[in-house]
Amino acid sequence: MHGEYVLVQILFMHGWSVKLFPMPTQHRRPVIHLPTPLERRWQALRRLQARIDDAAERALQAQHGLSLSEYLALAALAFSDDHGHLRQQVLAEAIPLNHSSVSRLVGRLERAGLSERYLCEYDRRGVYTQITAQGRELVEVARETYLHALHAVLREAREDAELAPHADHLLSLSNEDGEVS
């Protein structure tokens, strides 16, 4: 190694060649600057969602034994305007998950006594999922954990220049609803 360059010897068919490549700095994080503002904002939003999902998953799992997907499914059922039941394809769109993943998730919820499945009486191909009383109780308690994790990540994201506009916008919405941020 020479200063800020890494010496690399490359074998060619007829001998060695020496090339110098810039050495990554150990004290600086690389900057990724996507070409358009739309791409940069979308990537920032995805990064924020990943942070929120990770924090919510850990908190829900630790405090309630629920995965984030299980919580989101129970919340969709509990807060639907259809008395706590949804067709599985609607539930898949609400979470969002693909149909086979939702089937497995609903199976886990059913085995835990948090939901039950039944066939549509008018269309035998339609499968509905209904939240149980136990599922409603759990989602009410777990909702506080979810909201706490959500607010904590959003407050922390205000320190990141790329994430701050998204975090500020979301926190302003929670303030409009009278929630504490």
Domain total of the chain = 1
Query: Is residue 165 situated within a structural domain?
Result: no
Average pLDDT, the chain: 85
Specify if 41 maps to a domain. Answer: no
153/148 Cα distance (integer angstroms): 9
Residues forming beta bridges with residue 6, ordered by sequence position:
21
Task: Decide: residue 128, CB within 10 A, 0-12 exposed, 13-18 middle, 19+ buried.
Answer: buried
pLDDT at 163: 94
Pairing of strands 85-87, 5-12: unpaired
Spatial distance between the Cα atoms of 139 and 167, rounded to a whole number of angstroms: 24
| Stated pTM of the model | 0.78
Beta bridge partners of 60: none
pLDDT 10s digits, 84-134:
889 989 999 999 999 889 999 999 999 999 999 988 777 667 888 999 999
Q: Which domain holds residue 137?
A: 46-160
| pLDDT above 90 (res 156) | yes
- At 142, which helix (H) or strand (E)? helix 133-157
Angle at 54 between CA 29 and CA 88, to 5 degrees: 140
Q: Looking at the domain assignment, is residue 15 inside a domain? A: no
- Give residue-wise pLDDT tens across range 157-167: 999 999 999 99
Residues 120, 129: Cα–Cα separation, whole Å:
10
